Amino acid sequence: MKKRSKRYKTLVQIVETGRKYTLEKAIEILKQSPSVKFDESIEVSLKLGVDTKRSDQQVRSTFFLPHGSGKQISVVVLAKQEKAKEALEVGADEAGGQELIDKIKSGWTDFDVLVATPDMMREVGQLGKILGPRGLMPTPKAGSVTTDVKGAVKDLKRGKIEFKVDKNGVVNNCVGKLSFPMNYIVENIESFLYAVFKAKPISSKGHFFRSLFISSTMGAGLKIDIHSLSLKLD
C-alpha cells in the first residue's frame, strides 16, 4: 500500500470531496494548507461552453491583473536596431534581430513572452515549431506583434497577461501568489473572469462558464460555486 505524506493527509482532512466552495472559502483553505518552501502560485482553471473545433468559438485576449501575478516576467523583443534599443530602455530582458532568432532556432526559449515588430514576422514564422507548442508565438491579438515595443514591454512588466482556451475548452491562468492578501487574490480572479466573459464568442450558446476550479502550486484543486460569485456572469 502506498504510503501517504503528512501533507497529503492534512489536505484530505481540510478538503471536502465533491463540495463547491465560495471563492473566499476556497482561498482560505488554500492558505491554511501545509506550507512549502516557496511562495506558491494561485492557478485558475475555467471550463467554457465553446466548441474549440469551430474557428468562431476561439477565446483569446489580454487583460491586466489589478495586483499583478507576483511573477517576474521575462520579455524578449525581436526587432531591428532602433526598436530593439527602445525595448531595452524600458526593461526588456533581451532585444535584437537575427542573433536572437538564431539563438531560438538552437532551442533557447528561456523567457515568458516574445514580442516582435511586424517587419520581423517573416523570420518569426520560421520559429513556429519551437514557439507554438510552448505558447510563445507572438500574435497581433495578444498585442505581442506591434511597432510600439516600448508600450508592449511596459504593459507586460506591470501585469498584462494573455489567456486563451485550449483544445479541451479550458482556460488556465496564474492569477497571483498565495502570500497575497485575500482581497488581492479575489480581485485578481474576478478581473480574470470578467475579462474572459467579455471575450465570449457571439456564437457560443447556453452557459458560457461551465466549471471553475482554483488551486495553489502544491495544494488541492477546489471547485467554486459559480452562482456564489458577486460578478454578473452568464
**Please, what are the domains in the chain?**
16-68+161-228 (3.30.190.20), 75-157 (3.40.50.790)
Q: Note whether 83 and 96 are within 8 A (CB).
A: no
**Cα 89 to Cα 202: distance, rounded to the nearest angstrom:** 41
**pLDDT digit string (tens) for 43-69?**
999 999 999 999 999 998 889 999 988
Has residue 226 got a pLDDT over 80?
yes
pLDDT at residue 105, rounded to an integer = 93
Q: Which residue has the higher pLDDT, 84 or 205?
A: 84
Model pTM? 0.79
Per DSSP, which regions of 24-183 are E strands? 41-48, 60-64, 75-78, 94-96, 113-116, 160-164, 170-177
- The pLDDT confidence band at residue 3, using thresholds 50, 70 and 90, is low
**Cα 202 to Cα 134: distance, rounded to the nearest angstrom:** 28
pLDDT at residue 178, rounded to an integer = 95
**pLDDT digit string (tens) for 132-182?**
888 899 988 888 999 999 999 999 988 888 899 999 999 999 999 999 999
Residue 75 β-bridge partners: 113
